[in-house]
Amino acid sequence: AGDGDCGHTHARAARAIQEWVRAQPPPAAPAQLLSALADLLLEKMGGSSGVLYGLFLTAAAQPLLKGSDLPAWADAMDQGIAAMQRYGGAAPGDRTMLDSLCAAAEVLQTLRDPGAELLPVLGAAVKRAEEAAEATRKMEAGAGRASYIGSAQLLQPDPGAVAAAAVLGAVLEGLRG
């Protein structure tokens, strides 16, 4: 769907992150880590996804400047999504990466609850993001490159939504490891 470069773009980002981590230890402070990742993706990822992830991470870093407790991570997700919507113009239901991210964000709201535990909440958020990505299979594209293609030709889930769910899954696996 779209211009067919989603997998290549995300692979380029993954390689850039791997090279960056091998070359230097990433910042330990969450806000600085997200800001550095934003800069890296804006420079190396390319495509509209690189810009959108860069905007997301830059905005998500802001709430983490004050602390990195679990509610701050929920705030980070909300602010990152708001930045993507503001600058990208898409909304949930438009068959984009926002479908997965917004579904995950709904679950991540429980990080604000007393006694919330990160890994179970994040696991549930990843599952919900994957379900939302699969649900894009039946959606009409309202934004992004896929919106230029007739819906009869869109037979697969939105690649950006699948990739966003995979990124969240990789974060979960990294935290578990």
Q: Which domains does the chain have, with CATH numbers?
A: 5-176 (1.25.40.340)
Average of per-residue pLDDT across 38-46: 95
CA gap 38, 46 in Å, rounded: 12
Sign, Cα dihedral of 118, 123, 128, 133: positive
Taking only the tens place, the pLDDT of each residue in 122-174 is 999 999 999 999 999 887 755 555 554 555 455 688 888 999 999 999 999 99
Average of per-residue pLDDT across 20-45: 96
Residue with tokens 């990294």: 174
Average of per-residue pLDDT across 60-75: 96
Residue with tokens 């309202």: 142
Residue with tokens 């602010």: 79
76's tokens:
């980070």
Taking only the tens place, the pLDDT of each residue in 75-131 is 999 999 999 999 988 889 888 899 999 999 999 999 999 999 999 999 999 999 999
CA angle, corner 148, sides to 136 and 130, nearest 5? 15
**pTM higher than the cut 0.85:** yes
CA gap 106, 76 in Å, rounded: 13
**Rounded mean pLDDT of the chain?**
90
By three-state DSSP, how is residue 27 classified?
Answer: coil
What does residue 164 show for φ and ψ, rounded to 5 degrees? -65, -40
CA angle, corner 163, sides to 162 and 168, nearest 5? 100
Which pLDDT belongs to residue 144? Answer: 57
